[in-house]
Amino acid sequence: MSIIVAYKYAANPQDTTVDASGVVDWSRAKAAISEYDPVAVQVGRTLADSLGTDVVGISVGGKAVASSMAKKGALSRGMDRALVVADDATATWNATTVASALAGLVGKIEGANIVLTGDSSIDESAKMVSTLIAGFLGWPCFQEVIAVEAAGNGWTLTQSAAGGTRTITVDGPVVVAVATDAAAVKVPGMKDILAAGKKPLDEVAVAEVSPVEVSLEVTGRAKPVAKARRNETFTGDDAAAQLVAALRNAGAL
């Protein structure tokens, strides 16, 4: 049984520009493993060490995802090997198609019964790929998970909830989206990066994962309408009380 971590080699939005119409220009954005995925890798590494097994990374992206730089950047985080779909045709895929391909990769790993993902991807931040993967696999999915432990034939998950946490026991396989604060991320050193270059990364052809074809058409774009500010000023000895009353009337308190 391997611990599977789905990761994304994504462009950093800090390097992008946005034109007047709201269209984002990604042409100068540098790619790296998505900012939240190392947390999932660390959770997976800790879990794998406790079970005496390995961590397998899976990813879908352009040819760059199989490059030496991408491989070292991902596997230096704590994964033992990776299985990727590296095809520039994926640039036009939407989240549903990507998730179906990721599910196809999971199917190629013997004994797979858990998939960890980051909270979201740094470029799109849709927070939906974990649930889509689960849908294609027919597994349950839980998000905002801060801890994972093996429990018999399943898993015990600690999930953030309003006002605290809750503990969930799952029998059988599961997809888990790890919360951003679930683990402290180790920054890879030169030794980790050099070792990652020797780890195996296998490419899988698109046809072997049978991605679903889902059409998506953007019919328009519009900026959010800016709300007019009330610009109220409160004076006098009871200014604080006036402010509190106004906030309550507005439903802010």
Using one digit for the tens of pLDDT, what is the confidence trace for 203-252? 999 999 999 988 888 888 777 787 888 788 899 999 999 999 988 888 88
Q: Is the pLDDT of residue 22 over 80?
A: no
pLDDT of amino acid 25 = 82
Residue 218 belongs to some domain of the structure: no
**What is the number of other CB atoms lying within 10 angstroms of the CB of residue 32?**
17
**Rounded-to-integer distance, Cα 215 and Cα 78, Å:** 36
Question: Residue 39 pLDDT > 90, yes or no?
Answer: yes
Q: Where are the alpha helices (DSSP H) in the chain?
A: 37-51, 68-75, 95-106, 129-137, 190-196, 206-209, 239-249
37 inside domain: yes
Asked whether residue 81 is assigned to any structural domain, the reply reads: yes
Q: Is the pLDDT of residue 127 over 90?
A: no
Cβ neighbors of 157 (< 8 A, separation 6 or more) are 142, 145, 147, 148, 167, 168, 169, 170, 174, 176
What's the CA gap between 242 and 229, in Å, rounded?
17
Asked whether residue 106 carries a pLDDT value surpassing 90, the answer given is yes
Return all residues near 88 (Cβ < 8 A) that are at least 6 apart. Answer: 62, 63
- What is the amino acid identity at position 196? A
Report the number of distinct structural domains present in the chain: 1
Residues with Cβ within 8 Å of 29's Cβ and at least 6 positions away in sequence, in order, are 11, 12, 13, 14, 15, 16
Largest CA distance in the chain: 73
Confirm whether 200 is domain-assigned: yes
Q: Report pTM.
A: 0.82
Q: Residue 10's pLDDT is what?
A: 84
In a domain, 240, yes or no: no
**Residue at 244 is within a domain:** no
Token pair 């196809």 is at which residue?
104
Burial of 1 (0-12, 13-18, 19+ CB in 10 A): middle
Q: Please report the pLDDT score of residue 123 as a whole number.
A: 79
160: left (phi over 0), alpha (psi -120 to 50) or beta: beta
Rounded to the nearest integer, the mean pLDDT of the chain is 91
Domain holding 33: CATH number? 3.40.50.620
Which residue range is the domain that position 70 belongs to? 2-208
Per-residue model confidence (pLDDT) at position 45 = 96
**Which pLDDT score, from 0 to 100, does residue 16 have?**
81
pLDDT at 21 over 90: no
Q: What is the pLDDT of residue 29?
A: 81
Residue among 169, 177, 89, 88 nearest 127 (CA): 177
Check if the beta carbon of residue 125 is closer than 8 Å to that of residue 10. no
Whether 96 is covered by a domain: the verdict is yes
d(CA 212, CA 97): 5
> Residue 31 — pLDDT band, cuts 50, 70, 90?
confident
What's the pLDDT tens digit per position in 143-182?
999 999 999 889 999 999 888 899 999 999 999 999 999 9
- 190 part of a folded domain: yes
